[in-house]
Amino acid sequence: MVKADKSNISTKRSICPVASTLDILGDKWSLLVIRDLFAGKTTYSELQKSPEKIPTNILANRLVRLTDHEIVEKKPYQTHPVRYEYILTPKGRELGPILKSMVSWGEKHIPGTKAMSKKKR
């Protein structure tokens, strides 16, 4: 079990929505996990296989953080053996515009970047 993490509890630096959003998602990995879930990945091992090679303990930590914030939901999709799937909640799916604007900005301003073809659904 991943140990208690202050960042799990709601500690807002200010009432600013940008600051509060960054309190939840302001790190190098969280939005990448969300990007992958948008891209259709659902399991822990699929998430680990992304090209950015997220360290496994960080992935575990981010998944609990995101589920604490109800951005992601973890549910078993089979028993024997138990296997879990991670899916975006409606709240999580509404992060789409943030991701989309990052894709636009990145493609336009960072040479060598290329967005993947959009997944339907």
Q: Contact residues for a copy of itself (CB under 8 A)?
A: 12-24, 26-29, 31-32, 35, 50-53, 91, 94-95, 97-110, 112-116
Adjacent-strand bridge partners of 88 = 72
**Cβ 2 to DNA, closest distance in Å?**
4
Going by DSSP bridges, is the β-strand pair 72-78/83-88 parallel, antiparallel, or unpaired? antiparallel
The footprint of DNA on residues 85-104 (CB under 7 A) is: 85
Cα gap 107→56, rounded to integer Å: 28
Nearest to 43 by CA among 89, 84, 93, 72: 84
**Cβ 82 to DNA, closest distance in Å?**
6
- Residue 75 as a binder of DNA (CB under 7 A): the answer is no
**Cβ 101 to DNA, closest distance in Å?**
22
Cα gap 92→25, rounded to integer Å: 11
Let me know the angle formed at the C-alpha of 58 by 93 and 66, rounded to the nearest 5 degrees: 30
**Cβ 71 to DNA, closest distance in Å?**
16
Binding site for DNA (CB under 7 A): 1-3, 5-7, 27-29, 43-46, 53, 55-58, 60-61, 63, 74, 80-85
